[in-house]
């Protein structure tokens, strides 16, 4: 396979709202460039970039994947990213390794929720943007309406460089406003035929071209002067000015397509090559490996090599596939590199260029190129690979923390180990899930970005690793504690026949501050309990406190002091004192005014300001305490503390209340007392469960 220089590479990520046509567009780009011989269709499950079985079944991209094509001697690396909210982290990761975002927009719907999010993310990274107005063949598609909504929701910089020829089903080509030529496309292979601007579009095209020229002039002081002098710009000034304005983000050129009908694709390819930066034009940001200071480096394929790992794919057969961007120097097949992040050495096998899941081996990949390598030993997403002399490291992609947990139960006994191995692999592939056993409830918890994310993960577990599990809402890890100090007595005595048992202790219990768990104090003087039996008393109290008193949850945040007792020279033994400790604990609980504690979460909600009032009202209903509110543009950020038990169904509520515009994040904050009227419900539920278990055991 050919080796490309940075100057002849364009790295783009296709981003935008789900259903805008990103995957279909990738399929059209690959077909029209002759990269593949069959025109892949999302609806038939035959696209290159949605290759995963789960993606084919659901007709949605669930994970970013790469493909590449060649156009006018330029290699275009494209990353197709998911548009669904639960999977947006992958879009974020992809944006870190490309030089421009191609924002795909449905011409019927205009700007949608994820369009805005991708836009903002690209803005934060300083990425130039190209807008693809897709699905122009659909009923009610409208450039004017879509443009107005994009300018309102995303940026005034969105500027058409084409207008469509024909509307809705009759959409058949575009007028290029720079060349002032008409292009119509053959649906068979996308090929364009060039002609003059049709008479009925001449006025519209001229007006749109004038608007474009004005936008280009406004983006540059020197051009602005020229524009005022001459009343217009020359063709050369327009072409060069448009490119500069796109690179600086002052203009986001908009082109017109139908990815499904294969219209407008060659003109889009031209726009990618002409207006978007090459892989060598934007200096890369890195951290000095020794000092951690931010540094920038020019992209050059000479000098020490370095690469940044932005994604890992877990294939049950091929093993781990590592996706990276070569940042500096040239990476060679069959060489060794230093994993700077883990300080280990990795032996690289064949370097590959991926067409979806299909690799082509390449001898080397130069700075700016994207590639993959299989079977690395211990390299994971966010790692830096380099020559030892490179002396740099790339900042990690901040992946979203999970917001929601489900308990998972193996369908067949003995599958737990298999699940754990498979989940480990899936965690490598998807840094936004967590899999762990809850230390208190002992449940296996799978946490992710939302219900759909968790369902998809479970489906992958089944398809790829052959293990089936059931999902249930997680148990709330309640706890119990005491609110009063008291003294108590426990005596275990069994002295009828055979070897006797005798243990006897007096204890004092008192509440401790939240988070103190349990403290045991030995305050025995004068041998009322022999030394060797004191640990048995402690063990007895420990066991009993972990079994709970009110509803079976561990009792925490108290101190137990053993201060007196008695023994029998023959009948006393460890077991007897353990039982005495348990009995003393139960006796204490009866008078120490026990209560139930629940976990409270710190919740942060982002939503358009219009919804703020309703969302706060709802949080009150969930026993939430609002701790702060903040406006960021048209978004309101609400911070609150809400009991975990009230947040289990929050995702569904937020999605329906805000039409998918809201997002939230939560993390554990502290334990707090459950209001009395809810305690009785928890106690009743615990009793019912115990009764149920007893029945099951019979």
Ligand X SMILES: Nc1nc2c(ncn2[C@@H]2O[C@H](COP(=O)(O)OP(=O)(O)OP(=O)(O)O)[C@@H](O)[C@H]2O)c(=O)[nH]1
Q: Could you give phi then psi for residue 387, rounded to 5 degrees?
A: -65, 150
| Closer Cβ to ligand X, 61 or 382, answer by number | 61
Of the residues 259, 488, 644, 647, which one makes contact with ligand X according to CB under 6 A: 259
| DSSP H or E segment with residue 635 | strand 635-643
Main-chain dihedrals φ then ψ at residue 175, nearest 5 degrees: -100, 125
Residue 10 as a binder of Mg ion (CB under 5 A): the answer is: no
User: 362 touches which of ligand X, Mg ion, none (CB within 5 to 8 A by kind)?
Assistant: none
Name which of 43 and 696 has its Cβ closer to ligand X.
43
86 binds Mg ion (CB under 5 A): no
CA distance 529 to 527: 5
Q: Are 483 and 506 in contact (CB under 8 A)?
A: no
Q: Are 154 and 166 in contact (CB under 8 A)?
A: no
- CB closer to Mg ion out of 107 and 615: 107
CB of 17 to ligand X, least distance (A): 7
- Burial environment of residue 261 by CB neighbours within 10 A (0 to 12, 13 to 18, 19 or more): buried
Cα(60)–Cα(629) distance, integer angstroms? 35
Q: Give the CA-trace dihedral at 447, 449, 451, 455, to 10 degrees.
A: -70
In this structure, what is the dihedral angle of CA atoms 348, 350, 351, 353, given to the nearest 10 degrees?
A: -150
43 binds, among ligand X, Mg ion, none (CB under 5 to 8 A by kind): ligand X
Question: Nearest distance from residue 140's CB to ligand X, in Å?
Answer: 12
CA distance to 30, 31, 33, 71, 283, per residue, from 269 (Å): 10, 12, 9, 7, 24
Which of these segments, 55-63, 194-202, 327-335, 446-454, binds Mg ion (CB under 5 A)? 55-63
What is the β-pairing status of strands 351-355 and 444-448? unpaired
Among 8, 11, 23, 353, binds Mg ion (CB under 5 A): 23
Return the C-alpha torsion angle 669, 670, 671, 676, nearest 10: -70
**CA–CA distance, 251 with 269 (Å, rounded to integer):** 18
- Degrees to nearest 5, angle at CA 67 with 26 and 9: 100
CA angle at 599 for the pair 598 and 604, rounded to the nearest 5°: 140
User: Which partner, ligand X, Mg ion, none, binds residue 18 by CB below 5 to 8 Å per kind?
Assistant: ligand X
From 337, 20, 54, select the one nearest 149 (Cα to Cα): 20
Question: How many residues of this chain interact with ligand X, rule: CB under 6 A?
Answer: 23
Which strands make up the sheet holding 558-566, listed edge to edge? 486-494, 501-511, 558-566, 518-522
Q: Is 134 in the site for ligand X (CB under 6 A)?
A: yes
Which residue is associated with the tokens 């990738």? 26
Q: Residue 258: beta bridge partners?
A: 263
- Strand partners of residue 252: 158
Write the Ramachandran bin of 254: left for phi over 0, alpha for psi from -120 to 50, otherwise beta.
beta
Beta carbons of 675 and 622 less than 8 angstroms apart: no
Write down the least CB distance from residue 443 to ligand X, Å. 31
Contacts of 196 (CB under 8 A, 6+ apart): 181, 182
- Which of 10, 17, 22, 138 binds Mg ion (CB under 5 A)? It is 22
| Residues 538 to 567 in contact with ligand X, rule: CB under 6 A | none
Residue 393 binds Mg ion (CB under 5 A) = no
- Binding-site member from 9, 11, 13, 21 for ligand X (CB under 6 A): 21
Which two three-digit tokens encode residue 526?
Answer: 């004068």
Helix (H, G, I), strand (E, B) or coil at 645: helix
Which CB sits closer to Mg ion, 90 or 116? 90
Which of 82-90, 272-280, 618-626, 641-649 is the region at the interface with ligand X (rule: CB under 6 A)?
A: 82-90
Closest to Mg ion by CB, 10 vs 22, is: 22
Spatial contact of 417 and 444, defined as CB atoms under 8 Å apart: no
Residue 24 binds which of Mg ion, ligand X, none (CB < 5-8 A, kind-dependent)? ligand X
Shortest Cβ distance from residue 88 to Mg ion (Å)? Answer: 12
The verdict on 173 binding ligand X (CB under 6 A) reads no
Residue 82 as a binder of ligand X (CB under 6 A): the answer is yes
User: What mask of x and - would describe binding to ligand X in positions 32 to 71, judged by CB under 6 A?
Assistant: ----------xx---------------xxx----------
Site string for ligand X, 586-605 (x = CB under 6 A): --------------------
Cβ 26 to Mg ion shortest distance, Å: 8
Residue among 113, 177, 254, 260 that touches ligand X (CB under 6 A): 260
Choose the binding region for ligand X from 81-89, 149-157, 637-645, 650-658 (rule: CB under 6 A).
81-89
Please state, in angstroms and rounded to a whole number, the distance separating the CA atoms of residues 305 and 290. Answer: 17
Strand, coil or helix: 603: strand
**∠ at Cα 603 (597, 608), nearest 5°?**
150
Output the smallest distance, CB 112 to ligand X, in A.
10
In the list 84, 143, 254, 579, the residue contacting ligand X (rule: CB under 6 A) is: 84
Compare residues 83 and 565 and give the one whose CB is closer to ligand X.
83
Q: With binding defined as CB under 6 A, does residue 92 bind ligand X?
A: no
- Minimal distance in Å, beta carbon 452 to ligand X? 11
Rounded to a whole number of angstroms, the distance between the first and last alpha carbons of the chain is: 68
Residue 450 binds what, of ligand X, Mg ion, none (CB under 5 to 8 Å, by partner type)? none
Nearer to ligand X by Cβ, of 107 and 584: the residue is 107
Among 47, 61, 432, 573, binds Mg ion (CB under 5 A): 61
- Nearest distance from residue 592's CB to ligand X, in Å? 56
- Residue 18, interface with ligand X (CB under 6 A)? yes
Task: Compare residues 32 and 80 and give the one whose CB is closer to Mg ion.
Answer: 80
Q: Is 135 in the site for Mg ion (CB under 5 A)?
A: no
Stretch that binds Mg ion, among 60-68, 89-97, 270-278, 572-580 (CB under 5 A): 60-68
Which residues contribute to the site for ligand X (CB under 6 A)? 18-24, 42-43, 59-61, 82-84, 104, 134-135, 137-138, 258-260
Which residues contribute to the site for Mg ion (CB under 5 A)? 22-23, 61
């Amino acid at each position: 396979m050919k080796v490309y220089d940075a100057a002849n590479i364009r790295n783009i990520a296709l981003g935008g709202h789900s259903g805008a046509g990103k995957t279909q567009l990738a399929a059209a780009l690959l077909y029209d460039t002759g990269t593949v011989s069959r025109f892949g269709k999302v609806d038939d499950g035959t696209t290159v970039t949605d290759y995963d079985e789960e993606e084919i079944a659901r007709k949605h991209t669930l994970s970013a994947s790469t493909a590449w094509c060649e156009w006018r001697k330029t290699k275009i690396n494209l990353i197709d990213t998911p548009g669904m909210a639960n999977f947006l982290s992958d879009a974020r990761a992809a944006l870190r390794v490309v030089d421009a975002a191609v924002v795909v927009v449905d011409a019927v719907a205009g700007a949608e929720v994820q369009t805005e999010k991708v836009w903002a993310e690209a803005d934060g990274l300083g990425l130039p943007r190209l807008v693809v107005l897709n699905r122009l063949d659909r009923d009610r598609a409208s450039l004017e309406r879509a443009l107005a909504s994009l300018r309102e929701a995303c940026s005034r910089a969105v500027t058409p460089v084409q207008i469509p020829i024909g509307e809705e089903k009759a959409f058949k080509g575009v007028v290029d406003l720079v060349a002032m030529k008409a292009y119509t496309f053959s649906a068979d292979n996308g090929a364009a035929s060039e002609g003059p601007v049709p008479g009925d579009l001449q006025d519209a095209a001229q007006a749109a071209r004038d608007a474009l020229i004005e936008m280009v002039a406004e983006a540059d002081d020197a051009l602005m002067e020229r524009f005022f002098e001459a009343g217009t710009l020359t063709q050369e000034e327009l072409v060069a000015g448009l490119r500069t304005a796109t690179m600086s983000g002052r203009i986001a050129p908009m082109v017109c397509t139908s990815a499904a009908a294969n219209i407008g694709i060659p003109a889009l390819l031209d726009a990618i090559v002409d207006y978007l930066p090459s892989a060598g034009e934007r200096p890369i940001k890195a951290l000095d490996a020794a000092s951690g200071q931010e540094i920038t480096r020019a992209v050059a394929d000479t000098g020490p090599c370095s690469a940044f790992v932005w994604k890992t794919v877990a294939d049950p057969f091929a093993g781990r596939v590592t996706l990276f961007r070569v940042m500096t120097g040239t990476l060679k097949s069959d060489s060794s590199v230093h994993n700077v992040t883990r300080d280990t050495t990795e032996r690289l096998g064949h370097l590959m260029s991926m067409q979806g899941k299909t690799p082509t081996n390449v001898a080397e990949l130069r700075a700016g190129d994207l590639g993959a390598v299989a079977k690395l030993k211990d390299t994971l997403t966010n790692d830096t690979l380099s020559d030892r002399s490179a002396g740099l490291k790339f900042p990690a992609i901040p992946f979203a923390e999970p917001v929601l947990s489900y308990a998972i139960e193996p369908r067949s006994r003995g599958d737990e180990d298999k699940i754990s191995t498979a989940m480990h692999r899936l965690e490598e592939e998807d840094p936004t899930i967590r899999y762990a056993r809850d230390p208190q409830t002992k449940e296996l918890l799978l946490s992710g970005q939302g219900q759909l994310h968790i369902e998809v993960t479970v489906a992958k577990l089944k398809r790829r690793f052959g293990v089936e599990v059931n999902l249930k809402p997680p148990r709330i890890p309640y706890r119990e504690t005491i609110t009063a100090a008291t003294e108590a007595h426990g005596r275990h005595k069994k002295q009828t026949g055979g070897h006797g048992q005798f243990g006897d202790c007096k204890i004092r219990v008192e509440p401790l501050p939240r988070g103190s768990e349990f403290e045991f104090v030995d305050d025995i003087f004068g041998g009322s309990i022999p030394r060797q039996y004191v640990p048995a008393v402690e063990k007895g109290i420990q066991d009993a406190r972990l079994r709970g008193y009110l509803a079976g949850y561990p009792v925490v945040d108290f101190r137990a002091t053993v201060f007196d007792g008695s023994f029998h020279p023959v009948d006393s033994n460890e077991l007897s004192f353990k039982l005495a400790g348990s009995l003393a604990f139960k006796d204490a609980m009866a008078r120490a005014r026990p209560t139930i504690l629940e976990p409270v979460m710190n919740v942060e909600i982002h939503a358009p300001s219009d919804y703020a009032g309703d969302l706060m009202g709802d949080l009150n209903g969930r026993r939430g305490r609002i701790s702060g509110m903040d406006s960021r543009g048209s978004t309101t950020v609400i911070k609150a503390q809400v009991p975990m038990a009230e947040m289990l169904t929050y995702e569904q509520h937020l999605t329906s209340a805000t039409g998918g515009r809201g997002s939230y994040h939560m993390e554990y904050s502290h334990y707090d007392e459950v209001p009395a009227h809810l305690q009785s419900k928890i106690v009743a539920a615990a009793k019912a469960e115990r009764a149920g278990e007893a029945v099951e055991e019979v």
